[in-house]
């Protein structure tokens, strides 16, 4: 049989949203490669995309429905048996405890519109409890919103036109390899300068032209140091500030307090290093300040992000930052999810604090899809105690036997993106490509749209919109969203560019970019981002965690093996603790302890540790055992990169 090539799009929680060409022979995938005609993908893919063949055919795939047996194991069931069991228990819980006791727990395991928001239709119709989706980027969005309104800005394919690209808390070489490739292309062809601001020597920092390593949590001081330098040397764009901004004088007053000596005391960076960043900004306009999501995963993360976003307007740039582009689009997410089709009010729970909520017994029925909370949520000790409650009924719709699936009462087999059609507009670049299924679904796996309808029927729900044609809904939601074509063109295989909101439009109380935020003041927060005290050395080590190339969150361990259980430690700290390279060490705090292997390296400064995100320790302990379920004041996000731990051999 002649091989055929299927054009599709990767729906992972990743900046790059690659357009892919999948080669199929005799009904089986044999090759996955980047689409050479896509403006961002440009013909290559990452180690995860390349490994999707192995992941699709993994021995860890869930291929059939399963029910838990009295001895704690699982037995294969039919779809009718499994869905009847789910519907029966759900009806009973709703009758006895009400919709507030029912929770669909999802996130971004697959961000396709028919996989993620569509799957929420059933739960919107039921009025079930809903989480606030704060586990990843919410606090950064909230911080940016205080000063800019919506949080869109620079698009990755514009990097070729920039003279300076600053990756601030953003390890793009790993987390966004195609965005990084565009930056390198700009450097090679146009002489663009690349700067990395990161406490550790990440892959991006190692490859940058300039690397600044402020102490974790000191970014606001660095911002004010740069701003003071620009202001004192009259290098700001005064005309832009007067026409387009609000609150500059308050910002200026604060910035001028940050002398080189004061900035050095907080950040550890010399006045010369701070001046070098100010010079790079002043001498290389236009610039793009690429703000990483990891920057806001700390106690004052929202303040860090909003502070960094205030450098570009000093230089006359409308939204000269990138954080996420999703809010700059025009399509109707509420229509897809059904949230605007019902008048039912849903109880909103903190996603960051869900472990405590589940442990407390507030939730009696838990439906999980697109997420592996048994590893990814903070405060894992509380979560696992909650998952083990006798009065909690857990249903998991999943592609693989994850840790969460193994906790379930009912396990439903889901299709991978290579087995179904979907639409994946990413949160970085503005290009949309239909995601086409390349092969027939394995086993008896089913899509989220199918399961939604089947459960709605069993529950006797009468809302017509639950049974609507999904593609007709997508056409209505996105019909006018494209610059260079129609929804029909998209369905025919075209890659189209999404319309974006104007950069000089600010959805703030003053209608301007606000250096001093009116909304923050009204909400009881500081109008300006202010530097907060850093933890003292006696409080232990600051543990930073980030992703590494072969894994998307907990995915791909069935292909590449476990996430390496390692921790980077500075040589001087290692010598003081009598720890040698390769030694097992314990990382502990008041929530628990995990054992990992020490990697002695000067790529982290003294007092700072780094580990791959979501690893399991040498004894199988989840890293997030150490992470509290505390939420940030602004935006409710997690505090992963603010925790302190003790290290012992």
Handedness of CA 501, 507, 513, 515 (dihedral sign): negative
* Percent of the chain whose predicted confidence (pLDDT) is above 70: 100
Handedness of CA 176, 178, 180, 183 (dihedral sign): negative
pLDDT band at 535 (very low <50, low <70, confident <90, very high): confident
The pLDDT, as a whole number, for residue 536 is 77
pLDDT tens digit string along 239-268?
A: 999 999 999 999 999 999 999 999 999 999
Q: What is the mean pLDDT of residues 223-232?
A: 98
- Angle, helix 260-267 to helix 219-232, in steps of 10 degrees: 160
For residue 331, is pLDDT > 90? no
Nearest Cα to 93, choosing from 285, 314, 361?
A: 361
Q: How far is CA 338 from CA 109, 122, 334, 343, 466, in A?
A: 20, 8, 6, 10, 8
Length of the chain in terms of residues written: 649
List, in sequence order, every beta strand (DSSP E) within 189-320.
193-197, 210-212, 245-246, 287-291
Share the mean pLDDT of the chain. 97
The pLDDT, as a whole number, for residue 98 is 98
Q: Specify whether the CB–CB gap between 608 and 199 falls below 8 A.
A: yes
The pLDDT, as a whole number, for residue 372 is 98
For residue 154, is pLDDT > 80? yes
At 649, list the tokens: 């051999």
pLDDT tens digit string along 31-75?
A: 999 999 999 999 999 999 999 999 999 999 999 999 999 999 999
Q: How far apart are CA 508 and CA 495, in angstroms?
A: 33
Q: How far apart are CA 424 and CA 417, in angstroms?
A: 10
pLDDT tens digit string along 86-100?
A: 999 999 999 999 999
**Domain 139-323 superfamily per CATH:** Dimethylsulfoxide Reductase, domain 2 (3.40.228.10)
Residue ranges of the domains in the chain?
Answer: 66-135+329-497, 139-323, 537-648
Q: What is the mean pLDDT of residues 421-439?
A: 96
Q: What is the mean pLDDT of residues 549-573?
A: 97
pLDDT band at 168 (very low <50, low <70, confident <90, very high): very high
Q: What is the mean pLDDT of residues 286-294?
A: 98
List, in sequence order, every beta strand (DSSP E) within 292-384.
321-322, 348-349, 365-369
- Topology annotation, domain 537-648: Barwin-like endoglucanases (2.40.40)
The pLDDT, as a whole number, for residue 279 is 98
For residue 117, give the 3-state DSSP assignment: coil
Asked if the 66-135+329-497 domain carries CATH number 3.40.50.740, the reply is yes
pLDDT tens digit string along 313-329?
A: 999 999 999 999 999 99
CA angle 276, 641, 221 (to 5 degrees): 35
Please state the φ and ψ torsions of residue 493, each to the nearest 5 degrees.
110, 0
Phi-psi region for residue 288, left (φ > 0), alpha (ψ -120 to 50) or beta? beta
The pLDDT, as a whole number, for residue 480 is 87
* Percent of the chain whose predicted confidence (pLDDT) is above 90: 98
The pLDDT, as a whole number, for residue 129 is 98
The pLDDT, as a whole number, for residue 539 is 78
For residue 133, is pLDDT > 80? yes
Q: Bridge partners of 291?
A: 168
Q: How far is CA 539 from CA 543, 567, 587, 647, in A?
A: 12, 18, 13, 12
pLDDT tens digit string along 479-506?
A: 889 999 999 999 999 999 999 999 999 9
At 12, list the tokens: 């992972």
The pLDDT, as a whole number, for residue 188 is 98
Tell me which long-range contacts 600-604 makes (C-beta under 8 A, separation of at least 24): 600/569, 600/570, 600/571, 600/574, 601/568, 601/569, 601/570, 601/571, 602/201, 602/570, 602/571, 603/200, 603/201, 603/568, 604/199, 604/200, 604/201, 604/544, 604/568, 604/569, 604/570
| Entry pTM | 0.97
The pLDDT, as a whole number, for residue 479 is 84
């Amino acid at each position: 049989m002649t091989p055929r090539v299927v054009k599709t799009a990767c729906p992972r929680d990743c900046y790059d949203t690659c357009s892919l060409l999948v080669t199929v022979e005799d009904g089986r995938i044999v090759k996955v490669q980047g689409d050479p005609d896509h403006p961002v993908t440009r013909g290559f893919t990452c180690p995860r995309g390349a490994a999707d063949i192995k992941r699709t055919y993994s021995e860890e795939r869930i291929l059939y429905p399963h029910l838990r047996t009295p001895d704690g194991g699982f037995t294969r069931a039919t779809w009718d048996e499994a869905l009847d069991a789910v519907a029966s228990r759900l009806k009973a819980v709703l009758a006895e405890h009400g919709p507030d006791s029912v929770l669909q727990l999802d996130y971004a395991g697959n961000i396709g519109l028919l996989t993620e928001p569509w799957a929420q239709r059933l739960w919107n119709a039921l009025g079930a409890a809903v989480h606030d989706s704060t586990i990843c980027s919410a606090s950064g969005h909230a911080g940016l919103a205080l000063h800019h309104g919506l949080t869109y800005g620079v698009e990755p394919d514009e990097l070729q036109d920039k003279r300076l690209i600053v990756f601030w808390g953003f390890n793009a070489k790993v987390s966004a390899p195609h965005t990084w490739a565009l930056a390198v292309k700009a450097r090679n062809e146009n002489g663009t300068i690349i700067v990395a601001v990161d406490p550790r020597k990440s892959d991006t920092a190692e490859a940058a032209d300039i690397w600044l390593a402020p102490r974790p949590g000191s970014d606001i001081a660095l911002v004010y140091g740069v701003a003071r330098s620009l202001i004192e040397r009259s290098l700001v764009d005064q005309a832009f500030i007067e026409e387009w901004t609000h609150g500059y004088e308050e910002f200026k007053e604060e910035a001028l307090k940050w002398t080189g000596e004061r900035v050095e005391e907080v950040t550890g960076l010399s006045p010369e290093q701070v001046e070098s960043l100010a010079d790079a900004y002043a001498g290389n306009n236009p610039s793009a300040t690429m703000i990483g999501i990891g920057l806001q995963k700390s106690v004052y993360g929202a303040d860090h992000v909003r502070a960094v976003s205030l450098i570009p307007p000093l230089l006359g740039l409308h939204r000269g930052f990138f954080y996420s582009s999703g809010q700059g689009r025009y399509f109707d997410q509420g229509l897809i999810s059904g949230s605007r089709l019902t008048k039912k009010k849903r109880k909103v729970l903190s996603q960051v604090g869900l472990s405590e909520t589940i442990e407390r017994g507030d939730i009696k029925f838990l439906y999980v899809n697109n997420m592996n909370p048994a590893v990814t949520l903070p405060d894992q000790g509380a979560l696992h105690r909650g998952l083990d409650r006798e009065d909690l009924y857990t249903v998991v719709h999943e592609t693989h036997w994850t840790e969460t699936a193994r906790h379930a009462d009912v396990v439903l087999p889901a299709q991978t993106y290579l087995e179904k059609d979907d639409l994946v507009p990413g949160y970085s670049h503005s290009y949309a490509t239909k995601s086409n299924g390349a092969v027939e679904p394995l086993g008896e796996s089913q899509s989220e749209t199918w399961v939604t309808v089947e459960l709605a029927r069993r529950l006797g729900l009468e809302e017509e919109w639950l049974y609507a044609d999904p593609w007709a809904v997508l056409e209505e939601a996105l019909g006018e969203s494209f610059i260079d074509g129609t929804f029909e063109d998209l369905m025919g295989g075209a890659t189209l560019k999404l319309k974006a909101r104007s950069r000089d439009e600010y959805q703030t109380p003053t209608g301007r970019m606000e250096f001093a935020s009116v909304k923050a003041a009204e909400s009881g927060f500081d109008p300006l981002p202010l530097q907060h005290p850093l933890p003292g050395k006696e409080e232990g080590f600051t543990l930073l965690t980030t992703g590494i190339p072969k894994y998307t969150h907990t995915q791909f361990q069935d292909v590449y093996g476990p996430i390496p259980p390692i921790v980077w430690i500075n040589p001087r700290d290692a010598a003081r603790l009598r720890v040698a390279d390769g030694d097992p060490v314990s990382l502990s705090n008041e929530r628990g302890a995990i054992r990992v292997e020490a990697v002695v390296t000067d790529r982290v400064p003294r007092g700072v540790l780094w580990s791959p995100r979501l690893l399991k320790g040498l004894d199988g302990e989840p890293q997030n055992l150490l992470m509290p379920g505390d939420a940030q004041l602004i935006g409710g996000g997690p505090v992963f990169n603010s925790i302190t731990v003790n290290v012992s051999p």
